[in-house]
Amino acid sequence: MPDVNVAVVVGSNRTESINRKLARALVKLAADAKLELRIVQIDDLPMYNQDLENPLPPSVARLKSAIEAADALLFVTPEHNRSIPAVLKNAIDWGTRPYGRNSWAGKPATIIGTSPGAIGTALAQQHLRQVLGDLGALVIGGEAYVTYKPDLIDQADIVMDEGARRFLQSFIAQFAGFAVRLASVRVQAAAA
């Protein structure tokens, strides 16, 4: 049984997104790492508008519930124009609303991305790390990039490249270790 439930937030709403494929592959790789990864839907959120906060739209309430129920967060994101994709920023904004109800705060988080270039998601990850840190998420690890090639992940979401698979397993194991330790500290603090 998994020790830690992880909400996976994919920064792309494209059906055939290579980052969505990476997220699905990570879900499979995490099975041995005491993590249960669940991809959270963000493509149906309305554009953030304070006028819509009371009551929250059902899709926003669903997002906030998924984030709040998670023990940890995994962001898998492309880079759009040297920054965070709009669909991801919109989800982050909704997760902080209404004022005083920030769903991201205190959650351990990590970030990864893939692109055809070697470090094609570097600036998006840097910006995302800054935004999440400001919101009180506990972002761990350095930046993690995966160079995407057409045969990297097969139709069954299996990572076919042995070197990439070892890297991703190490990435997930490191995150799992951090998230499990932090979850146990929170449980001990709540019991005290």
DSSP for 86-130, please give it: HHHHHHHHHHTTTTT--SSTT-EEEEEEEESSTTTTHHHHHHHHH
Residue type, 167: F
Q: What is the pLDDT of residue 182?
A: 81
Under the banding of pLDDT at 50, 70 and 90, the label for residue 190 is low
Q: What is the pLDDT of residues 158-174, one digit of tens each?
A: 999 999 999 999 999 99
Put residue 167 in one of left, alpha, beta given phi > 0 → left and psi -120 to 50 → alpha: alpha
Kindly report the number of other CB atoms within 10 A of residue 171's CB atom: 19
In the predicted model, is pLDDT for residue 151 greater than 80?
yes
In the predicted model, is pLDDT for residue 156 greater than 50?
yes
Q: What's the rounded Cα separation, in Å, for the pair 190 and 56?
A: 29
Please state the rounded mean pLDDT for residues 49-68.
Answer: 97
In the predicted model, is pLDDT for residue 107 greater than 50?
yes
CATH of the domain at 19: 3.40.50.360
Under the banding of pLDDT at 50, 70 and 90, the label for residue 96 is very high
Please state the rounded mean pLDDT for residues 33-46.
Answer: 93
Sequence-ordered list of residues with C-beta below 8 angstroms from that of 187, at least 6 positions apart, any chain: none
- pTM comes to 0.94
Q: What is the dihedral of CA 39, 105, 61, 97, to 10 degrees?
A: -130
The whole domain housing 78 covers 4-191
* Average model confidence (pLDDT) across the chain: 92
Please state the rounded mean pLDDT for residues 28-32.
Answer: 87
Q: What's the rounded Cα separation, in Å, for the pair 187 and 192?
A: 9
Q: What is the pLDDT of residue 1?
A: 47
Under the banding of pLDDT at 50, 70 and 90, the label for residue 35 is confident
In the predicted model, is pLDDT for residue 123 greater than 90?
yes
Under the banding of pLDDT at 50, 70 and 90, the label for residue 192 is low
How many domains does the chain divide into?
1
Please state the rounded mean pLDDT for residues 123-138.
Answer: 96
Q: What is the pLDDT of residue 31?
A: 81
Please state the rounded mean pLDDT for residues 137-162.
Answer: 92
Burial of 54 per CB tally in 10 Å (0-12, 13-18, 19+): exposed
